[in-house]
Chain A
Amino acid sequence: MEAVVTSPVEEHGHGHEHDHEHHESFIRKYIFSTDHKTIAKQFLGSALFFLFVGGAMALILRWQLAYPGEALPLIGSMLSDRFVSDGVVQPGFFMQMTTMHASVMIFLVIIPLAVGFFGNLCIPLMIGTDDMAFPTLNMFSFWLVPPAAFFLMIGFFHESGAAAAGWTHYPPLSVIGGFGHYMWTIGVFFVGFSSILGAVNYIATVLNKRAPGMKMFDMPLTVWALFITAILAALGTPVLAADLAILFFDQFFHSSFFIPEGWVVADYPNNGGGQPILFQHLFWFYSHPAVYIMLLPVMGVASDVLATFSRKPVYGYKAMVFAIMAIAFLGFIVWGHHMFQSGMNPLLGTTFMLSTIVIAVPSAIKTFNWLGTLWRGSITFSVPMLHALAFVATFVVGGLSGIFMAAAPADVFIHDTYFIVAHIHYVLFGGSLFGIFAGIQYWYPKLFGRRQNETWGQIHFWLTFIFFNLTFFPMHLLGIGGHMRRISDPNVYDFLKPFAGMNEFITICAIILGFAQLILVVNMLMSFKLGKKASRNPWRANSLEWAAPSPPVGHGNFDKPLRSYRGPYEFSLPGKKRDYLPQWKKPAKSESAEESAKQAAGGNGQAAGGGGH
């Protein structure tokens, strides 16, 4: 590993001292590393691991729903009899599984991937710098994940079991729930801490460390999205922290912030005077923005992938940026839509209905602009592109089901049914996860210096896309049928008995969907060694990360001084031999004169309505 002599950052005057040894110890290099690429890999590795943990939990849930009262195959006999009896999932264990499945997926998979992985991978490389503004802080933000996981899961080893009050952890249930619930509170606190550390770092990095010449409106949409996401996280997470702190007081010291007077629960010294709904307000004040924390980054990723593989500039770049900002702003005033039926004053329901319905507009704008990007493009169906297209198609479904729930009177029936479960999965699996897969496939060559096997990539994509839809689309029907969420045995209800067949069908599809994900991981692992060596710019894209070697050089990333001359989406310029013009490419004399003339003539080349190109 060679120290970089002319890193652009030093040139820029923000360099950090290269006082470390050339041969870092193994621990500093691979474990407690401050290199953003290593940290990105750590986030990726841990999140993929937890993807399988959470997936296994989901399959346990699905088994019970399809075959209530039948012993779990394979693992049934291995589980402790605190969880199963004769291999049959017990209701209490089912509740632990719903809670932990969602908690793991949200806090240990999607947030770390969307924010931790993409933030670390993309921000420094795409803005052309050597590392984050605060590399040590960055290291901490990853190393808070293992304690978070520890506290979330530790309940499984206690006789009272893991948290079982749902990922939303509403009191009073979470207050009286016991050990696993208390530990859950602490675990999520760690996740929040990690998010805040990451967020301040991203904000500082984007504002201060852009390569010379790169204006804010020359940044790729991925970076824009991560930047706004960081602001969301920095503003929202402290509120969650406050909420959890109060819950913690209720759990440990019986402070009764969330517990009212007149309450019949044994063994809880109740001081009264509290209000359970307060928890929900604070929780959703963070957790609605959090759904956008999980989504905005991948919206950025999808935009970049769509542009590259249709060889076209992103349609309406500025409109896309403003839509991200609008979502972020509106995201803070819609939280009450999760509480329409909660007993909150229905007058607020009216307000939140209107704000929520408005938040669908920027999502619609983004969808139209993605279609605009494809329009008159020259589209190749590479693996990252397939995932990005699946993202667009399925996100539309999730956005539209959101409209049903946003209309408060229509939400009355479907609230807390499988309709919500379908919505969540269309936005978080169909949206976030397909976007994440697109990004993993797209930047794999850059991060690891190898290409993945294309055929297996395609097989993984098609299996995932087909079985994703077969698993989750029918859940809309269950929801319309009135099938409640978080119930371990639908057969208790006569009106749900007709859905037994559908539940079984969903389970079979879910099992295939789960196992298909092994292909992704095996393909990634095999390609470390067997993949073809990747060139610097395998996708012929324009943004700065493709100027670096694959993989980028040790600490420093770039082997040449770097400057940005234009926006990231100059594809298929007429009259040029090549169909892309990277940001780092110095303009020829005549061109630069032309550029500056254009700029003088009003607006920079990126204006949504440039038209003049």
Chain B
Amino acid sequence: MLDYFPENVSSVGIEHDELFALIYYICVGIFVLVNVVLLVFLIKYRRKKGVRAYHFHGDNLVEFVWTLLPTVLFAGLGFYSDDLWTRMKYQDKVPQADVEIDVMGQQFLWHIRYPGPDGVFGDKIPAEMSSSNPFGIDPKDPNGKDDLVVQNTFNLPINKMIVVHLSSVDVLHSFFLPNFRIKNDAVPGLWIDVWFDCFKAGKYELACAELCGSGHYAMRGVVNMQSEEDYNTWLQGKYDAVTASLQPENSTAEVASPAAESTEAAEEEIVVEESVTEEEAAH
């Protein structure tokens, strides 16, 4: 059963899979025990001529024992699991980030924001959020001018701690990376930190795991985990384009800021929902 898991590529995933396996073996043990006892009783105590059932109302000591045993077992499991839980999710235990990105869910695509050539994210202001500016980047903040926003497909380096700030512009979505054993809802109005690393380069699928409307099934992204050099090359290419578009001689710079450009493309995708799905299905 356990080998149905998709391949794991993150270090937290290793711990997750170990915990899952532990629970699995405990539960299979209990399942076999209970059902074997059940079957044995059904065969052994089936009605036979001349044999009367044993009139017996129960025994307090037995009750006590079989209350205590599962309590100890399950409570132990709970306390044992808690350590991993705190390291997976506690918002005051976010590790030191090597790479930080913002991820925003929108019916039915993912926006990913990189800080841009200056390495600093522009401020986010909820009141500024609009379909051309899903992150609500403050137009007055100079740091925000060069922020890079891409949709659905994005790259990240391996062997680095990646911290994702997650939110949504409309309804609930859920950021699910099956190969990383990562899942967290993207909630409008909340910024939630999610973090992971990766020890194997490759392209991994990002799924939406929370019902978000009729296009939910096709809200698919792909994260391309690359070696640090490859990643830097990719990022530099993107950043060069951003810098070029911000040059003063480019008179339309204001309108065609990279964020706006990419969301326009995104909007097209939303409007023609059918085509999104076909495109996605073709992947």
Contacts and interface: CB of A to CB of B under 8 A. Distances in A.
Contacts of A407: 19, 23, 77-78, 81
Given A416-B176, A417-B209, A484-B209, 7 more contacts: A171-B171, A312-B55, A360-B74, A374-B45, A375-B41, A412-B183, A613-B56
Contacts of A485: 209, 211
A255 interface: no
B35 A393 contact: yes
Contacts of B16: 409-410, 412-413
A74 B127 CA distance: 51
Interface of B: 1-2, 4-6, 15-16, 19-20, 23-24, 26-27, 30-31, 34-35, 37-38, 41-42, 45-48, 51-63, 66-67, 70-71, 74-75, 77-79, 81-82, 84-86, 88-91, 106, 125-131, 134, 136, 169-172, 174, 176, 178-179, 181-190, 192, 205, 207-218, 220, 277, 280-281, 283
Contacts of B131: 264
Contacts of B41: 371, 374-375, 377, 379
A517 interface: no
B38 A609 contact: no
Contact of A389 (B38, B183, B212, B283): B38
A396 B31 contact: yes
A364 B56 CA distance: 20
B227 to A, nearest CB: 22
A551 B163 CA distance: 68
A602 interface: no
18 contacts: A171-B171, A272-B126, A357-B78, A360-B74, A376-B45, A379-B47, A404-B23, A404-B24, A415-B209, A476-B1, A477-B1, A480-B1, A482-B6, A492-B280, A492-B283, A574-B52, A609-B59, A609-B60
A378 interface: yes
Contacts of B53: 310-312, 376-378, 571-572, 579
A50 to B, nearest CB: 23
Contacts of B218: 91, 489, 492
Interface stretch (A34-42, A119-127, A338-346): A338-346
Nearest to B131: A264
A484 B176 contact: yes
B27 A360 contact: no
Contacts of A277: 187, 190
B89 A349 contact: yes
Contact of A313 (B55, B74, B84): B55
B183 A480 contact: no
A166 interface: yes
A481 B3 CA distance: 8
Interface of A: 90-92, 94-95, 98, 164-166, 170-173, 176, 259-265, 272, 274-277, 310-313, 315-317, 319, 341-343, 345-347, 349-350, 353-354, 357-358, 360-361, 364-365, 367-369, 371-372, 374-381, 389, 392-393, 396-397, 400-401, 403-404, 406-410, 412-413, 415-417, 476-477, 480-482, 484-495, 569-574, 579, 605-611, 613
B129 A262 contact: yes
B205 A495 contact: yes
Contact of B188 (A260, A368, A574): A260
Nearest to B79: A354
A464 B65 CA distance: 35
**Residue of A172, A367, A389, A412 ringed by the most chain B CB atoms within 10 A:** A412
A396 B34 contact: yes
B127 A389 contact: no
B182 A173 contact: no
Contact of A276 (B35, B45, B106, B188): B188
A431 B272 CA distance: 44
A488 B212 CA distance: 12
Contacts of A349: 85, 89
Given A316-B58, A606-B57, A346 B34 contact: no
B277 A353 contact: no
Nearest to A415: B183
Contacts of A611: 56-59
Contacts of B205: 493-495
Nearest to B166: A343
Given A396-B31, A412-B182, A92 B171 contact: no
Nearest to A264: B169
Contacts of A409: 15-16, 19, 81, 84-85, 88
A607 B125 CA distance: 65
Nearest to B68: A361
A473 to B, nearest CB: 10
A321 to B, nearest CB: 12
A164 B277 CA distance: 19
Nearest to A572: B53
B15 to A, nearest CB: 8
B91 A608 contact: no
A403 B27 contact: yes
Contacts of A609: 57-61, 63
A403 B74 contact: yes
Contacts of A92: 214
B81 A173 contact: no
Contacts of B58: 313, 315-317, 319, 369, 372, 608-611
B6 A397 contact: no
Given A164-B214, A410-B16, A262 B126 contact: yes
User: 7 nearest interchain CB pairs?
Assistant: A260-B189, A262-B126, A609-B60, A316-B58, A346-B89, A487-B217, A482-B178
Nearest to B134: A264
A340 to B, nearest CB: 8
B174 A413 contact: no
A492 B217 contact: yes
B174 to A, nearest CB: 6
B211 A95 contact: yes
Nearest to A346: B89
A486 B211 contact: yes
B220 A364 contact: no
Contact of A492 (B55, B214, B281): B281
Contacts of B34: 367, 371, 396
A400 B75 contact: no
B215 A91 contact: yes
A365 B65 CA distance: 10
Nearest to B191: A343
A476 B20 CA distance: 13
B82 A350 contact: yes
Contact of B88 (A95, A412, A480, A613): A412
Contacts of A401: 27
Contacts of A573: 55
B45 A378 contact: yes
A484 B178 CA distance: 10
A379 B44 CA distance: 9
B5 A481 contact: yes
Nearest to B52: A572
**Residue of B19, B130, B190, B217 ringed by the most chain A CB atoms within 10 A:** B217
B86 A346 contact: yes
B72 to A, nearest CB: 10
A548 B170 CA distance: 60
B211 to A, nearest CB: 5
A378 B211 contact: no
A346 B189 contact: no
Contacts of B207: 482, 484, 493
A454 to B, nearest CB: 15
Contacts of A172: 170-172, 188
Contacts of B172: 170, 172-173, 276
Contacts of A494: 205, 283
Nearest to A609: B60
